[in-house]
Amino acid sequence: MKIMHCADIHLDSKMESRLTCEQAAKRREEMLMTFHDSLDYAAEQGVRAVLISGDLFDKRHIRKTVKDKVEQEIVSHREMDFYYLRGNHDITDFLDEMDELPGNLHLFSKDKWTSYPLPDDNIVITGRELDAKASPDVMSELVLDQSKVNIVMLHGMDSEYPVHDNSYVIDLTKMRGRYIDYLALGHIHSYRWEKLDERGVLCYPGCMEGRGFDECGKKGFVVLDIDKDGVKSHKFISLARRELHEIKVELAPEDDLDSIISKVKDVLNYSPEKDLIRVVLTGRKNMDLEIDCDWIKDKTDRNFFYYEVRDDTKTKINYETFANDRSLKGTFVRTVQGLDMDEERKARIIEIGIRAIMEGSLIE
């Protein structure tokens, strides 16, 4: 039996913090089309069950056209059963607006563990919608039949990671030894597959489309081949229309603007124009070099869908140059050099101070 596992699709996400309104609108439509394509792919592969481990939608207010399209996707794929476990972003009225739930859409509860036996396959899908308010004893209430192939769905953050929202924190140590064959997780937006215990495996499929530069690289979903003995194989599938790339370019103190432009162009040679690109300048630069990110961007842009340049360089200060300098600039550098603080902070103060001194002399 084949099962598709996806999560964190975040349909109708605003995405206007960096993108123009037109770009954001295009990305929203592309995310919806990627969801459509993934279901068509699943149907072609003979998938019988689709696991959505939370955050199908992004926010409370979702356009009606989007809700209607999602409902139509479920209804039109009647050969597949959808198991939708809502995540911390799924606070829309998507389900309330349906006249009746499609017969192939199965939901879960916050109040108890809900199980769905799959006919003729000895497989049981169990899940519960949890948040930060969930009882600490909630895992002790999970009782599974060890003679079954058990799939457990949850949406939450692995306890090894910091939590910044009201999502449930999953303590994986409490999931071990509970006869779980496949732990179908959502909330972390990067693909992750690993052993849970001697019997089972866990998976975060990640999101289907990256939205920000904390979601770089391949994005997609997982298709499992599972039978009465457990998970036989799995495959990560990416149908994303665009990828996000954060590319670091290391500078040296001897670099000037021309060499920086050359370095940036070199690393961009392998970046598709359809993608979203961030170049981050790192390393150390000469104190006299002023980096203009907008200028570098204009000189190196190849009409990427989105492109930005960020300056994360550190300034190299050659204190020997100012040892015998009796000017205001030399006095300033020696004063800062004697301060009790780390070198990075000193370098930043010196860079700003000298720039102010030079600009002041030009005004005079």
More confident site: 91 or 267: 267
Name the architecture of domain 2-237.
4-Layer Sandwich (3.60)
User: Where in the chain are all domains bearing CATH 3.60.21.10?
Assistant: 2-237
- Tell me the pairing of strands 221-227 and 244-251: unpaired
268: tokens are 């961009």
**H-only helix segments in the chain:** 21-44, 64-76, 257-268, 293-300, 328-337, 343-363
CA separation for the pair 84, 54 (Å, rounded): 7
CA separation for the pair 113, 120 (Å, rounded): 22
Inform me whether the pLDDT recorded for 197 exceeds 90: yes
Unique residue bearing structure tokens 């215990």: 197
More confident site: 131 or 200: 200
What would the pLDDT profile of 55-79 be if each residue is shown by its tens digit?
999 888 888 999 999 999 999 999 9
More confident site: 47 or 331: 47
Residue 111 burial by CB count (10 A; 0-12/13-18/19+): exposed, middle or buried?
exposed
What would the pLDDT profile of 85-98 be if each residue is shown by its tens digit?
998 888 877 887 77
Q: pTM for the full model?
A: 0.87
User: What's the confidence (pLDDT) of residue 338?
Assistant: 83
| Confidence label for 114 from pLDDT (cuts 50, 70 and 90) | very high
| Confidence label for 361 from pLDDT (cuts 50, 70 and 90) | low
| Confidence label for 364 from pLDDT (cuts 50, 70 and 90) | very low
User: What's the confidence (pLDDT) of residue 163?
Assistant: 66
What average pLDDT does this structure show over 93-121?
88
CA separation for the pair 356, 218 (Å, rounded): 44
CA separation for the pair 157, 71 (Å, rounded): 28
Inform me whether the pLDDT recorded for 148 exceeds 80: yes
User: What's the confidence (pLDDT) of residue 211?
Assistant: 95
Q: What are phi and psi of 339, to 5 degrees?
A: -75, 150
10: tokens are 């975040």
What average pLDDT does this structure show over 293-298?
96
User: What's the confidence (pLDDT) of residue 281?
Assistant: 97
Unique residue bearing structure tokens 């959808």: 82
What would the pLDDT profile of 27-50 be if each residue is shown by its tens digit?
999 999 999 999 999 999 999 999
| Confidence label for 131 from pLDDT (cuts 50, 70 and 90) | confident
> How far, CA to CA in Å, does 309 sit from each of 94, 269, 300, 313?
39, 15, 10, 12
Q: What are phi and psi of 234, to 5 degrees?
A: -150, 155
Q: For the chain, what percent of residues have pLDDT higher than 70?
A: 95
**By the 8 A CB rule, do 159 and 202 touch?**
no
User: What's the confidence (pLDDT) of residue 359?
Assistant: 60
CA 238 to chain centre: 14
Inform me whether the pLDDT recorded for 162 exceeds 70: no
Residue 89 burial by CB count (10 A; 0-12/13-18/19+): exposed, middle or buried?
buried
> How far, CA to CA in Å, does 144 sit from each of 4, 125, 163, 193, 199?
22, 10, 28, 22, 13
More confident site: 122 or 318: 122
